[in-house]
Amino acid sequence: MRILLKFEIDCDPDAAWRALHSPRAVAELYGPLLDVEPLEEAPTAFESGDDVPVQMRAAGILPVGRQLISVADRETTDGHGRVRVFRDWGVPLTGPLAALDVWDHQMAVSAVPGDPTRTLWRERLTIGGAAAPALWPGLWVTWQWRAARIRALAPTWAHDPELHHPDADAAD
């Protein structure tokens, strides 16, 4: 079973790619619906080959399970140019999602055709197993929430704070 998303966001593809690799930015995609907390020291950025166990809690209170985020990056091209794909093929370890036999979550970012300042975001979650039909509706709702959060947060991903230079204070 699959859940597919495709939409444009207000940041460039490099900013979207950095956000996909930021454990903090990824956790924000689920907030405040779910809190995603690493069970071990979290990397500052996900890298291809990483396996990061996380705990999920509904509204920060109710444990809903643990999941292993396993990262694999790849790059390809389509008719419009470069496409970067972040794949989480980890597995749910505990909780309701652990009843799934298949978990394959891929997120692709590329420039919007004709507008390199915006990103075309494509996402595919594939789940399988006897429990998949029962879990699909809840995951579909969660992925619609994610899409709304991605759209809302994307403009902040491109923000580069101005560097504070001590010499600037002396000039005032």
In a domain, 167, yes or no: no
Residues of the chain with pLDDT under 50: 161-172
In a domain, 105, yes or no: yes
CATH of the domain at 22: 3.30.530.20
In a domain, 117, yes or no: yes
In a domain, 165, yes or no: no
What local confidence, expressed as pLDDT, does residue 6 receive? 98
In a domain, 94, yes or no: yes
Alpha-carbon distances of 44 from 87, 127, 170, rounded to whole Å: 18, 28, 34
Taking alpha carbons only, the member of 172, 158, 140, 141 closest to residue 10 is: 158
- Count how many domains the chain has: 1
What local confidence, expressed as pLDDT, does residue 172 receive? 46
Please write down the long-range contacts of 160-168, taking CB distance under 8 Å and 24 or more positions apart: none
In a domain, 114, yes or no: yes
Domain that holds residue 129: 2-159
What local confidence, expressed as pLDDT, does residue 79 receive? 86
The 10s digit of each residue's pLDDT in 114-136 is 999 999 999 999 999 999 999 99
Specify the pTM: 0.86
In a domain, 169, yes or no: no
In a domain, 164, yes or no: no
